[in-house]
Structure 1
Amino acid sequence: MAKRPERDAAEDPVELVVDPETVCFLIVKAREFDVKVDPEDTDSGSNPSDDGDIDVLEDRRDDPTYAELMGTLEALNEDELSDLVAMTWIGRGDYDAEDWEEAKEQARQRGVKGTAEYLLGTPLLGDFLESGFNDLGYSCEDIEEAHL
């Protein structure tokens, strides 16, 4: 599919089923999750401050960031999850913002079973979500400013 020009900033954003604040939360948490690395020193036993708190960047089974992401995704309904999948695909360049309805339909057809795992298994999920979110006419900075 040929690339179309990006949405004009003056255009109204597309209508989302998923709450834009939830998308911003997921972007932040997905970025935190994306920076995780495999544990290097599994038995360090030292004080976190002695290690410079770098263990927080290690990917562990009991990772609270993963639990927050999974909990948030599992609480969403089918339409909200379809929005997130379609938004990720737009951010990744699989679809253009003008193809929003088509991307959502493909996401719906994909089904919701395993969607949370699918999204969390997507490398650079936070970046793709933010890019798709922006392409659809939204900005986390604007949403934050609206609540100040």
Structure 2
Amino acid sequence: MRYLSADSVFYIIMKAREFDVKVDPEGRDRESDAIDDGCVEILQDYADDATEAELHEALANLNVDQLHELVALVWLGRGSYSKDEFGEAYAQAVEADPSGKSTPEYLMGTPLLSDYLEEGLSEMGVSIEEFEIGRL
């Protein structure tokens, strides 16, 4: 990767994981345990929850080259391109959105974003485990 640091991708993976697990709030079960209810609420997506905003901000803070490289990494991770075709994936990302303006929304709408990024890093020879140790 020429434009993105592994640390930047790791941060986005963590934010994407938090965003991906959010679910719509549901009515409380009549037989639920008040102690357990607090544990469930952290996974529920409320309007004042900053999780989505944090991921969007992390993506919006990237420059256009970094955004295109992140898209190429996602495509690599989902198997659309091989490591040897990473340059081609990058060129396709540039062609798809030259200004990068819609790229954050595209990435946020990608199911399994964190998984694809993690797999893309793995394909590039970067292990996410080295970042997780001591940080999580």
Cα RMSD (Å): 2.2
Q: Does the C-alpha gap of structure 1 residues 62 and 110 become closer, same or farther in structure 2, counting only changes over 3 Å?
A: farther
Which residue of structure 1 aligns with residue 124 of structure 2? 136
Which residue of structure 1 aligns with residue 52 of structure 2? 66
More helix as a share of residues:
2
Q: Aligned partners of 1:66, 1:41: CA distance in 2, in Å?
A: 22
Higher relative contact order (CA 8 A, sep 6+): 1
- TM-score (normalised: structure 1): 0.78
Match of 1:57 among 24, 43, 49: 43
Q: Does the C-alpha gap of structure 1 residues 119 and 141 become closer, same or farther in structure 2, counting only changes over 3 Å?
A: same
- Three-state SS of the structure 2 residue aligned to 1:53 is helix
Q: Deviations over 1:109-138 (max 9, x none)?
A: 111121111101001100000001110111
Structure 2 unaligned residues grouped into runs of 5+: 29-33
- Three-state SS of the structure 2 residue aligned to 1:52 is helix
Alignment of 1:35-54 (within 5 A): 35-41=21-27, 49=35, 51-54=37-40
Structure 1 unaligned residues grouped into runs of 5+: 1-14, 43-47
Give the count of matched residue pairs. Answer: 128
Q: Deviations over 1:60-100 (max 9, x none)?
A: 33331111110010011010001110000111111111100
Q: Aligned partners of 1:128, 1:120: CA distance in 2, in Å?
A: 12
Which residue of structure 2 aligns with residue 120 of structure 1? 108
- Three-state SS of the structure 1 residue aligned to 2:37 is coil
- TM-score (normalised: structure 2): 0.84
1:29, distance to aligned residue in structure 2 (A): 1.4
Query: Percent of aligned positions with the same letter in both sequences?
Result: 47
Which residue of structure 2 aligns with residue 7 of structure 1? none
Alignment of 1:71-110 (within 5 A): 71-110=57-96
